[in-house]
């Protein structure tokens, strides 16, 4: 599967663009701030119906406009075309269409076009709160498991209702018990899915880290959850009076986290910038390999500014991996046009080059 053509209108600083891509490697160069990352984000948006970077759609609009539109034509593994169209207007419902037929729910689209984004923003997985690491798990599992997406949506809805009820001084204990009972199966499903995911990811991430680092360090992923100690129903019963006193749900998978370890120590405390970058690359490549295995469809890989903080040896190792037959369509950005084309051309001739300046994108 690959993205054959994209048409953009008023997406961030890209006023209009119509581009045809290589089914293998696509190199996007240009100075910083010109729009390279915005093009990758548009490709991501067509898969996930939202920006990789922004929580609000209105910030995807070109300055002084009130709407954006994206169209992508994909060639699937069976040779058939899939046309995805997304239009967003200020204060209106987002419209997502597949082959001119509108989805009734945006979640129905998730998983059709698997995608993995590697970005400098990934440092938030190491340095920020557990919210980022939970979002990372949800991103993977929501694409490969439709049931997981339904469970996480249901869990969050019931959790919101339960917390709202707890804030009410005269709440009904019967309603609280009902909500507690309803949330349990969703928590159990999510917990088991996340635990299995981390086990699968670390096995793959170790392989990639070993190749990129030369077997210099050992990495670990350690999944942490309240449900490690007891099932959700027991935890809720045990913490009932604490929840009532504090007026919110104090236990559950909303508190889950992953510890990223390097030689047994937290990588955010002991890892250099290069080691952290190598770890994140290994984690995202592990995500890619796992999604490929579970889908049976090779994801699109977006590599944004991956050369930064990597020595040339690791850059060459990375490119030798991603240009192999086991990887599908890839988009790579770099501020140095000569560097990116020279390095990539040593591994494959199946490459399209694009140059971005002030939001205008031209094939070189």
Which band of pLDDT confidence, cut at 50, 70 and 90, is reported for residue 150?
A: very high
Please state the rounded mean pLDDT for residues 335-346. Answer: 76
How far is the C-alpha of 172 from the C-alpha of 355, rounded, in Å?
A: 62
**Claim to verify: residue 154 and residue 168 sit in the same structural domain:** yes
**Claim to verify: residue 145 and residue 292 sit in the same structural domain:** yes
Q: Does residue 123 sit within a domain? A: no
Q: For residue range 249-261, what is the model confidence (pLDDT) as tens digits? A: 999 999 999 999 9
The secondary structure of 130-146 as a DSSP string is HHHHHHHHHHHHHHH-H
Q: Does residue 41 sit within a domain? A: yes
**Claim to verify: residue 154 and residue 246 sit in the same structural domain:** yes
Please state the rounded mean pLDDT for residues 162-183. Answer: 93
**Claim to verify: residue 150 and residue 204 sit in the same structural domain:** yes
Q: For residue 299, give every residue at least 6 positions away whose Cβ sits within 8 Å of its Cβ, in sequence order, or none.
A: 114, 115, 116, 288, 291, 292, 328
Please report the pLDDT score of residue 146 as a whole number.
Answer: 85
**Claim to verify: residue 167 and residue 66 sit in the same structural domain:** no
Q: For residue 344, give every residue at least 6 positions away whose Cβ sits within 8 Å of its Cβ, in sequence order, or none.
A: 25, 27, 319, 323, 332, 351
Q: Does residue 168 sit within a domain? A: yes
**Claim to verify: residue 269 and residue 302 sit in the same structural domain:** no
**Claim to verify: residue 285 and residue 313 sit in the same structural domain:** no
Instruction: Answer with the one of 268, 296, 324 that is the final residue of a domain.
Output: 296
Q: How is residue 61 annotated by DSSP?
A: B
**Claim to verify: residue 94 and residue 18 sit in the same structural domain:** yes
- Helix (H) or strand (E) run with residue 74 in it: strand 67-75
Residue 160's domain comprises: 128-296
**pLDDT greater than 80 at residue 342:** no
Name which residue leads in pLDDT, 107 or 252. Answer: 252
Please report the pLDDT score of residue 230 as a whole number.
Answer: 96
Mean per-residue pLDDT of the chain: 91
pTM of the model: 0.90
CA 338 and chain centroid, separation: 29
How many domains are contained in the chain? 2
Q: For residue range 56-106, what is the model confidence (pLDDT) as tens digits? A: 888 899 888 999 999 999 999 888 999 999 999 988 889 999 999 999 999
Strand pairing category for 81-89 and 67-75: antiparallel
77 exposure class (CB count in 10 Å sphere: 0-12, 13-18, 19+)? exposed
**Claim to verify: residue 158 and residue 291 sit in the same structural domain:** yes
Please report the pLDDT score of residue 280 as a whole number.
Answer: 93
CATH number at residue 356: 3.40.50.300
**Claim to verify: residue 60 and residue 97 sit in the same structural domain:** yes
Closest listed residue to residue 291, CA positions, set 113, 103, 152:
113
**pLDDT greater than 80 at residue 336:** no
Q: How far apart are the first and last CA of the chain?
A: 24
**Claim to verify: residue 230 and residue 281 sit in the same structural domain:** yes
How far is the C-alpha of 47 from the C-alpha of 51, rounded, in Å?
A: 10
Please report the pLDDT score of residue 220 as a whole number.
Answer: 94
Above pLDDT 70, what percent of the chain? 100
Please state the rounded mean pLDDT for residues 189-198. Answer: 96
Q: Does residue 319 sit within a domain? A: yes
CATH number at residue 237: 1.20.1050.90
Please report the pLDDT score of residue 90 as a whole number.
Answer: 87
Please report the pLDDT score of residue 100 as a whole number.
Answer: 94
Q: Does residue 22 sit within a domain? A: yes
Q: Does residue 253 sit within a domain? A: yes
Q: Does residue 148 sit within a domain? A: yes
Q: Does residue 5 sit within a domain? A: yes
Instruction: Answer with the one of 251, 275, 296 that is the final residue of a domain.
Output: 296
How would you label 78-101 residue by residue, b for 16+ Cβ within 10 Å and e otherwise? Answer: eeeebebbbbbbeeeeeebeeeee
Instruction: Answer with the one of 248, 275, 296 that is the final residue of a domain.
Output: 296
**Claim to verify: residue 135 and residue 245 sit in the same structural domain:** yes
How far is the C-alpha of 303 from the C-alpha of 163, rounded, in Å?
A: 39
């Amino acid at each position: 599967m690959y993205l054959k053509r994209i048409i953009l209108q008023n997406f961030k600083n890209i006023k209009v663009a119509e581009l045809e891509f290589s089914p293998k490697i696509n190199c996007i160069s240009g100075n910083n701030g010109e729009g390279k990352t915005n093009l990758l984000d548009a490709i991501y948006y067509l898969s996930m119906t939202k920006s990789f970077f922004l929580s609000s759609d209105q910030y995807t609009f070109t300055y002084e406009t009130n709407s954006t539109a994206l169209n992508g034509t994909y060639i699937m593994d069976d040779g058939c075309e899939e046309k995805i169209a997304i239009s967003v207007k200020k204060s209106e419902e987002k419209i997502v269409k597949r082959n001119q037929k509108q989805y009734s729910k945006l979640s129905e689209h998730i998983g059709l076009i698997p995608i993995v984004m590697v970005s400098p923003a990934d440092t938030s997985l190491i340095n920020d709160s557990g919210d980022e690491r939970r979002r990372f798990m949800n991103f993977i599992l929501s694409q490969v498991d439709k049931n997981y997406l339904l469970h996480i949506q249901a869990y969050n809805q019931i959790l919101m209702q339960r917390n709202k009820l707890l804030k009410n001084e005269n709440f009904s204990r019967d309603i609280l018990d009902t909500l507690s009972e309803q949330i349990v199966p969703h928590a159990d499903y999510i917990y088991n899915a996340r635990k299995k995911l981390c086990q699968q990811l670390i096995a793959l991430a170790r392989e990639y880290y070993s190749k990129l680092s030369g077997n210099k360090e050992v990495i670990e992923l350690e999944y942490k959850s309240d449900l490690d100690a007891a099932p959700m129903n027991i935890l809720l019963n045990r913490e009932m009076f604490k929840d009532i006193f504090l007026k919110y749900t104090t236990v559950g998978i909303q508190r889950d986290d992953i510890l990223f370890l390097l030689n047994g120590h937290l990588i955010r405390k002991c890892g250099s910038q290069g080691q952290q970058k190598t770890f994140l690359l290994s984690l995202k490549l592990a995500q890619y390999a796992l999604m490929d295995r579970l889908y049976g469809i090779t994801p699109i890989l977006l590599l944004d500014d991956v050369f930064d903080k990597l020595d040339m040896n690791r850059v060459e190792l990375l490119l030798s991996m991603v240009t192999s037959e086991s990887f599908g369509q890839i988009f790579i950005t770099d501020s140095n046009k000569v560097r990116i084309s020279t390095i990539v051309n040593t591994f494959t001739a199946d490459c399209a080059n694009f140059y971005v300046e002030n939001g205008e994108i031209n094939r070189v």
